[in-house]
Structure 1
Amino acid sequence: MLTLQDVAVTYANGVAALAPTSLSIPKGRFLVLLGPSGAGKSTLLRCMNGLVRPVQGEVIAGGRGSIFRSHKTLREHRRRTGMIFQQHHLIGRLSALQNVLMGRIAEHNALRSMLPLPRTDRLIALQALERVGLLDRALHRADQLSGGQQQRVGIARAMAQRPEIILADEPVASLDPVAGERVLADLHRICREDGITAIVSLHQVDLARRFADRIIGLSSGRIIFDGSPAQLGASMIDEIYVAASPRRAAA
């Protein structure tokens, strides 16, 4: 379980990006953060993996206490947490397989990670590519793949970590509708099969309704909806999007 207790974020310029927020996310759930740009979705995700330290509150993972308790606990939490980004952050000149293998580096010390990784790691990476339908592209350069394929390599890289939690920040925002649906379908299927907790930020209401177990609607740094897809009605969508006040903070 991932738990946030009264987590709030105010940036150095004085902008309140996230009001005090409490959430409990049980293991194996597929949760979608829904809202417009500037709603606080990315800030909330960054708190969950420790990239942003809240000005108040605690982030607790798996009953192990606050992830900010020490450098060691934060490092261990990040090792168990896979990240998928909007701009997949692949190294274009490297093959799909080499990019996925980067998800294994945290399993080794700094000296060992400078050497070729063991055969077992290569097998894990190949299996991850197979699960997103890209085993036949394993040796292709990343910059020779389509946008949807590159994002699926990003999913495979995250899965190669063998994570307990996946955080995905607008993973389909730069893709066309068909490619975006394929990427989310792959992510949803793998998380279901492996019992991985997923927290995914989206703009697309239709995708949120299709894939989420639970939807968190954010506006102006506050949670204004928390429920199932069936409970997300037209009036609430209007409140999240149409009636959302302009934000000064980043998403």
Structure 2
Amino acid sequence: MLRVESMGVTYPGNVLALKPTTVHFHKGEFTVLLGLSGAGKSTLLRSLNHLVKPTTGKVVSGEFGELTNRRILRQHRSRTAMVFQHHQLIERYTALQNVLTGRLAYHGTWRSLLPLPRQDLELALQCLDRVGLADKALSRVDQLSGGQQQRVGIARALVQQPSMILADEPVASLDPATSEKVLGLLRDICQEDGITAVISLHQLEYAQRFADRIIGLSNAHIVFDDAPENLKSKHLDEIYHRSPSVVAAEGKPAIHKPKTTPITTDVLEIAQ
């Protein structure tokens, strides 16, 4: 579905965010990227659609080939939907209007200034219905709860009719009950539609419960890549920088929430 070959990322100031990495993502898999803040999860995930530009190596789409120019990147992004931690919704818009922004990549700049076609509207309503929000279609998103807003974000991803969904800490700002509901909904939809998903998470218990595959990162490189049932204490020691004695005493590693700020240009860049 997607290949990452010797891809590394260094941020300005010579900050190494991801060491040269080779990894393949397979059709229909629900993959969780697991690790502490700063381990390289978000950098790896955002590199898959070049929201973060690789410094070395390459990303190769199974549908469009290597992401070498803007035309191929636009095609890849149109089929690779994004779900964000901070929702990235336009608060003064209704849920339906926000979902429809997921169709902008399928239209030219001038056409997108006009009302979108009826079939796009019908598709957006169907996507809202799939996430249980058909009755909120005409509600402004600033009147919705955090969990409802994240479900609008999932509907916006679905309206792209994607072959892959990337979700960057999609439940970090939600309570545990809502987090489980959102992750379960996302996994079920991906399974029903055969969508490949790559999700970054901090919560070990969610990774073990929902993932088909876990990729553990530490110090900007992959230290584990296997099925959840094969994730052992020795791997957790490495992922979470914990000594075996501490892990045994506490039963699970400490999981820290990252301090993040919204990147409000992401949705606009993908649409363009």
* TM-score bracket for this pair, using the shorter chain length: over 0.9
| TM-score, normalised by the number of residues in structure 2 | 0.88
Quick one: distance in 2 between partners of 1:127 and 1:62? 28
CA-CA distance at 1:105 after TM superposition: 1.0
What pairs up with 1:51-66 in 2 under 5 angstroms? Answer: 51-62=51-62, 64-66=64-66
Q: Which runs of 4+ in 1 moved over 4 A?
A: none
Q: Percent identity?
A: 59
What pairs up with 1:34-45 in 2 under 5 angstroms? Answer: 34-45=34-45
| RMSD of Structure 2 on Structure 1 (CA) | 1.4
Which string of whole-angstrom CA distances, capped at 9 and with x for unpartnered residues, describes residues 40-75 of structure 1? 0111011101112212111001153211x1110111
Counterpart of 1:48 in structure 2 is 48
Counterpart of 1:219 in structure 2 is 218
Counterpart of 2:87 in structure 1 is 88
Quick one: distance in 2 between partners of 1:65 and 1:115? 32
Helix, strand or coil: the match of 1:110?
Answer: coil
Counterpart of 2:167 in structure 1 is 168
Which string of whole-angstrom CA distances, capped at 9 and with x for unpartnered residues, describes residues 124-170 of structure 1? 10010011111111111101100000000000001100111100000
Helix, strand or coil: the match of 1:100?
Answer: helix
Q: Say if 2:64 and 2:76, in contact at 8 Å, map to a contact too.
A: no
CA-CA distance at 1:237 after TM superposition: 1.6
Which string of whole-angstrom CA distances, capped at 9 and with x for unpartnered residues, describes residues 5-44 of structure 1? 0100111210111011000111111000000100001110
Instruction: Count matched residues.
Output: 245
Counterpart of 1:247 in structure 2 is none
Which string of whole-angstrom CA distances, capped at 9 and with x for unpartnered residues, describes residues 170-196 of structure 1? 000000000011111111011111111
Quick one: distance in 2 between partners of 1:63 and 1:179? 34
Helix, strand or coil: the match of 2:53?
Answer: coil
Q: Which amino acid aligns with 2:225?
A: D
Counterpart of 1:17 in structure 2 is 17
Quick one: distance in 2 between partners of 1:38 and 1:130? 36
1:188 aligns with 2:159: no
| TM-score, normalised by the number of residues in structure 1 | 0.95
Q: Which amino acid aligns with 1:16?
A: L
Counterpart of 2:263 in structure 1 is none
Quick one: distance in 2 between partners of 1:138 and 1:169? 25
Q: Which amino acid aligns with 1:185?
A: G
